[in-house]
Amino acid sequence: MRLPNARNIPNGNAAAAARIERSRRRILGAASPASRIVTGACAAVAVAVLLLLSFPLAAQDTVVPRVTAPDPALRAPFTEANLSRPPVTGRRGMVTSLHPLGSMAGMKILLAGGNAFDAAVATALAVGVLDPKNSTLGGQGFATVYVAAEKKVRALNFFGPAPRAATREAIGTRDYRKGYLSTPVPSNLRGYAALHSAHGRLPWKEVVQPALELAEHGFVVTEELAQLVALLAPALDYPTSRAVFFPQGRAPRVGEIFRQPDLARTLRRVAEGGADAFYKGDIARRIGEFYRAHGGLLAYEDLAAYEATWSEPVSTTYRGFQVFAPPPNSSGLGVLLQLNILEGLDVAALGHHSPAHLHLMGEVHRLGIADRNRFVTDMSLTAVPVARLLDKAYAAERRKLLRPGTTMPAIPASPIDRGTDLAPRERENTTHLCVADAEGNLVSLTQTLGAWFGSGVVAADTGVLFSNQMRHLHTDPASPSRLEPGRRPRSNQSPLIVLKDGQPWLALGSPGSEGIWQRLVQVLVNMIDFKMDVQLAVATPRLAYAGGAANLTLDPPPVFELEDRLPAATFAALRQLGFTLKPTIAEGGSVNGIVRDPATGFLTGGADPRRWSDEGDWWGPAVAVYAIGW
Q: Check: CB of residue 232 under 8 Å from CB of residue 617.
A: no
- Place 429 in a pLDDT band, splitting at 50, 70 and 90: low
- Computed on alpha carbons and rounded to an integer, the radius of gyration of the chain in Å comes to 23
Domain boundaries, the chain: 93-310+429-556+590-629
Per-residue pLDDT at 363: 97
Cα–chain-centroid distance for residue 241? Answer: 24
Band (169; pLDDT cuts 50, 70, 90): confident
Whole-number pLDDT of residue 491: 79
Average pLDDT over residues 184-199: 97
Stated as kind and residue range, the H or E segment containing 562 is strand 559-563
pLDDT at 516: 87
The residues carrying an active-site annotation are: 430
619, β-bridge pairs: 614
User: What average pLDDT does the segment 194-213 reach?
Assistant: 98
pLDDT at 480 exceeding the cut of 80: no
Q: What is the pLDDT of residue 613?
A: 57
Domain 93-310+429-556+590-629 listed as CATH 3.60.20.40: yes
pLDDT digits (tens, 9 = 90+) for 395-410: 999 999 999 899 999 9
Q: Which residues pair with 435 in a beta bridge?
A: 95, 443
pLDDT higher than threshold 80 for residue 243: yes
Q: Tell me, what's the pLDDT at 629? A: 93
pLDDT reported for residue 438: 97
State the average pLDDT for the chain: 83
Name the nearest CA neighbour of 341 among 377, 389, 408. Answer: 389
Q: Which of residues 20 and 132 earns the better pLDDT score?
A: 132
Residue 537's SS3 state is helix
Whole-prediction pTM value?
Answer: 0.85
Query: Of 557, 409, 565, 428, nearest to 491 (Cα)?
Result: 428
Q: Which of 608, 621, 612 is nearest to 97 (CA)?
A: 608
Q: Quick one: average pLDDT of 282-304?
A: 96
Q: Does position 36 have pLDDT exceeding 70, yes or no?
A: no
**What average pLDDT does range 501-527 have in this prediction?**
91
User: In the predicted model, is pLDDT for residue 624 greater than 80?
Assistant: no
Q: Is 592 helix (H, G, I), strand (E, B) or coil?
A: strand
Residue 60 has pLDDT above 50, yes or no: no
Q: What is the average pLDDT across 362-370?
A: 93
pLDDT at 329: 82
